[in-house]
Amino acid sequence: MQKTNTPLIKFTFRFLAVILALLFTSLVLLIAKTNPLEAYKNILQGSFGSWRSVANTLVVWVPLMLATLGLLFTYATGLWNIGIEGQIILGAIFTTWALRILQNTSINPTTAVILAILAGILGGALWASLTGLLRIYGGVNEIFGGLGLNFVATALTIWLIFSPWKRPGVASMSGTEPFKEAYWLSQLEGFRLSIWAVAIAIFGLILVYFVLKGTFFGLKLKAIGKNGRAAKLLGIPTSRYFMSAFLICGGFAGLAGAIQIVAVYHRLIPLISSGYGYLGMMVAMLVNFQPIWAAFVALFFAALNIGSIQLQIALKVDSTLSGVLQGALLLFFLIMEGVRTKFFESKKARQNG
């Protein structure tokens, strides 16, 4: 019975999941009276059709990757950090806050940007600690604590944009006053992409890979995730590891938010987190704790996001189609995983009986 989990069988079921997700999305497109093939062609062109679109895909990839990396820690511990969306937002708020102060001092811009990014990491970690405290000392499930705090974070952003940080003249949904170019993370000539941002994401990826695979700390996190009670009985202080996982995840989320400010938008806007936190949760679920795969799946999801913008322009259908396709991929992935285990289990049972 060793044959049940061969890579070939696993691959076949995953491939089937992709086919089913595409079929489902095609059905949705047909309901919206759109030609599915035309739609997929536009998504592909929009995401990888030119150097500019590849660059745009990478612009989305960086924060999505960072969010996913953080989530690998909370997932390993068995925590559902839905609050990551708010943690990204607070990272962006803290970065904006720091830059607003530092731009009026004599500190040189490069140092200011580095300090602002660190402030963002701190902001994300602090916001995550609230969810952690609520969970550990208040018994409030992290799903509800985190979700509630997401809405609070969004409201905080809007309040900041409309009241204390409003643009001279009129406050509007377009965001705060943009920072001077000296305070941007330097971008490639003619593109929106910053090589530094990509470098940060890749460095994070390598770091997380080694921490989760090769350290005692990573091992303990996984032990708690697999069996919290047993870990506690063995003397691992679970609360402390819960809190560490929240803080690390919040830090990565805050970094993603900081990148959104210093490398992408250069100002605080209402939807600064762009849903990358929730998207990151989907990526982390799809790759089942494996950082290397996370990089590829995140790239694919980022491509879908960018491609669907092209879809909206070319075919006049809403760009939320990318969300439908991403959701369908994960849903059918989970279902096919279940079918695979069920199928081989019943076969085993028959042979035994």
Partner 1 sequence: MNPKKRGKMDNNLLSSLAGVIALAVPIIFASIGETLTERSGVINLSVNGTLMLTAMTGFVVAVETSSLLLAFFISALVGSFVALIIAFSSITLKQNQVAVGFVLTLMCRDLSYFLGNPYMGKPGPRVAALPIPVLKDIPIIGPLLFNQDILVYISFVLIALAYWWVFKTRPGLMLQGIGERPAAAFTRGANVNRMRYFYTMIGGALVGLAGPVYSLSAKAGWAGPNSGLDGIGWIALAITIFGGWNPLRAAAGAYLFAFLQWLGIFLQPQLPNIPSQVLQVAPFPLMILALLLVNVGNAEWVDRTLAGLPESARRVIAKILRALRTTPPASLGIPFENE
Asked if 263 and 184 touch (Cβ cutoff 8 Å), the reply is yes
Indicate which single residue of 16, 22, 140, 309 sits in contact with partner 1 (rule: CB under 8 A): 140
By CB under 8 A, tell whether 334 contacts partner 1: yes
CA–CA dist 161, 89 (Å, integer): 13
> From CA 98, how far away is CA 237, in angstroms rounded?
35
Interaction between residue 9 and partner 1 (CB under 8 A): no
Instruction: Give the number of other Cβ atoms within 10 Å of residue 216's Cβ.
Output: 7
Of 39-47, 116-124, 216-224, 334-342, the window that binds partner 1 (rule: CB under 8 A) is 334-342
- Rounded to a whole number of angstroms, the minimum distance from the CB of residue 285 to partner 1 is 6
Residue 54 binds partner 1 (CB under 8 A): no
Q: Is 342 in the site for partner 1 (CB under 8 A)?
A: yes
Residue from 36, 49, 228, 327 in contact with partner 1 (CB under 8 A): 327
> Taking CB under 8 A as the criterion, which residues in 29-48 touch partner 1?
31-32
- Most distant CA pair in the chain: distance in Å? 79
CB of 319 to partner 1, least distance (A): 9
Residue 328 binding partner 1, by CB under 8 A: yes
Binding of partner 1 by 20 (CB under 8 A): no
Binding-residue total with partner 1 (CB under 8 A): 46
Q: Which of 6, 341, 346, 348 binds partner 1 (CB under 8 A)?
A: 341
CB closer to partner 1, 124 vs 323: 323
What single string gives the DSSP state of each residue in 184-241? SPP--TTSS--HHHHHHHHHHHHHHHHHHHH-HHHHHHHHHHH-HHHHHHTT--HHHH
Long-range own/partner contacts, residues 226-232 (CB < 8 A, 24 or more apart): 226/78, 228/78
Determine, following the binding rule CB under 8 A, whether residue 339 of this chain makes contact with partner 1: yes
Distances (CA, A) of 60 to 125, 246, 267, 299, 302: 22, 23, 17, 8, 5
15 binds partner 1 (CB under 8 A): no
Instruction: Give the range of 141-149, 185-193, 245-253, 295-303 binding partner 1 by CB under 8 A.
Output: 141-149
How far is C-alpha 146 from the geometric centre of its chain's CA atoms?
15
Collect all residues with Cβ–Cβ distance below 8 Å to 225 and sequence separation of at least 6: 75, 76, 77, 78
Question: What's the rounded Cα separation, in Å, for the pair 319 and 309?
Answer: 6
**Smallest gap from residue 151 Cβ to partner 1 (A):** 4
195 binds partner 1 (CB under 8 A): no
CB-CB contact of 171 with 161 (8 Å): yes
Positions in 249-308 near partner 1 (CB under 8 A):
278, 281-282, 285
d(CA 197, CA 1): 47
User: Which residues, numbered 163-182, are part of the site for partner 1 (CB under 8 A)?
Assistant: 163
Q: Scanning the structure block, which residue is given the tokens 């989305």?
A: 60
CA-CA distance, 165 to 268, in Å (whole number)?
Answer: 9
End-to-end Cα separation, the chain, in angstroms:
14
Q: Which of 18, 101, 126, 144 binds partner 1 (CB under 8 A)?
A: 144
Binding site for partner 1 (CB under 8 A): 28, 31-32, 80, 82, 134, 137-141, 143-145, 147-149, 151-152, 154-155, 158-159, 162-163, 278, 281-282, 285, 317-318, 320-321, 323-324, 327-328, 330-331, 334-335, 337-339, 341-342
